[in-house]
Amino acid sequence: MTGTDPSAVMASDPLVIAGEEIGPRLILGTGGAPSLEVLGEVIEASGAAMATVAMRRLDPAAKGNVLDLLVSMGVRTLPNTAGCMTAKEAVLTAEMAREALETNWVKLEVIADDKMLLPDPLELIDAAEELVGRGFVVLAYTNDDPVLAWRLEQTGCAAVMPGGAPIGTGLGLCNPHNIELIASKAKVPVVLDAGVGTASDAVLAMELGCEAVLVASAITRAENPPLMAAAMAGAVRAGWMAAHAGRIPRRRHALASTSFSDMAETFAEQ
């Protein structure tokens, strides 16, 4: 890939999922923001075009709501099935989200317990098959297991979203080799999801071949959420550009960038 204007190069290859152009490659998770006001600042600073929401029991006393905020800022809503521990729960939650939000897109999460928050592979596959069969566009949160990611793709998931580390840990990419394997094999977009702690994690994910990064806690729970949102947006852009710029090979020995020829006679040689 060549080009003199980096922004034009990036713009020529936007994030596309299930045939729909999403645009920016940073997807925002809205969980953890201390207030809707801060969330609005985060959205503005991140430039994200898509953000996740959960489905929860209505609180009639709540002041304002996240849906109105996202709609007012022109951000696409991606409902998730956060908290579900069985395929049955996840399918019902997705159906509720489709009814409430008039979208058949869903970020599928089926976790094994409330401590590790790691995906339950068996329930996840069952839920993915069922939801794809019901016409959903499924973006599946998964372990960093290349085989499971491949199986999810085979079920018809529109994107696979391996975690770099358990949700909310900020540990970064614990197994970058597996993330690279997933990204190199997948025919659908790979979105690094969960575990991101700081901007360098997002850069690495993109350099490894991910198409996008989803960040929630690392932004919303940072001391300065809008500043971290801007950092993540820049990191995702930097990582994508580096991944497509053709990095130099790693070498065992040094390779001078400056020629040794035509040097002046040194005092040591006099």
Partner 1 sequence: MVSVYLNGQEMLVGAGSTVADLVASVLPGAQPARGLAVACNREVVPRSSWPAVVVCSGDRFELLAPAQGG
* Positions marked catalytic: 107
Q: HSE on the CB side for 61, CA within 13 Å?
A: 0
Q: Which of 1, 16, 67, 122 binds partner 1 (CB under 8 A)?
A: 67
Q: From 181, 182, 175, 133, select the one nearest 156 (Cα to Cα).
A: 133
Q: Extract the tokens encoding 9.
A: 């190069």
50 binds partner 1 (CB under 8 A): no
97 binds partner 1 (CB under 8 A): yes
Instruction: Between 63 and 253, name the residue whose CB sits nearer to partner 1.
Output: 63
Instruction: Between 169 and 181, name the residue whose CB sits nearer to partner 1.
Output: 169
Whether the Cβ atoms of residue 69 and residue 47 lie closer than 8 Å to each other:
no
Q: Which of 5, 21, 99, 265 binds partner 1 (CB under 8 A)?
A: 99
Q: From 183, 239, 185, select the one nearest 215 (Cα to Cα).
A: 239
Q: Which of 42, 45, 82, 158 binds partner 1 (CB under 8 A)?
A: 82
Q: What is the DSSP string of 136-152?
A: -EEEEEE-S-HHHHHHH
Q: From 189, 260, 245, select the one nearest 19 (Cα to Cα).
A: 189
The footprint of partner 1 on residues 181-240 (CB under 8 A) is 214, 216
Instruction: Between 9 and 92, name the residue whose CB sits nearer to partner 1.
Output: 92
Pairing outcome for strands 20-23 and 15-17: antiparallel
Q: From 101, 60, 80, select the one nearest 193 (Cα to Cα).
A: 80
Q: Please state the separation of Cα 152 from the chain's center in Å.
A: 17
Measured from the CB of residue 193, what is the shortest distance to partner 1 in angstroms?
Answer: 9
Instruction: Between 29 and 209, name the residue whose CB sits nearer to partner 1.
Output: 29
Binding footprint of partner 1, residue count (CB under 8 A) = 36
Measured from the CB of residue 56, what is the shortest distance to partner 1 in angstroms?
Answer: 4
Measured from the CB of residue 210, what is the shortest distance to partner 1 in angstroms?
Answer: 17
Interface ranges with partner 1 (CB under 8 A): 29-33, 39, 52-60, 65-67, 77-80, 82, 92-93, 95-97, 99-102, 107, 109, 214, 216
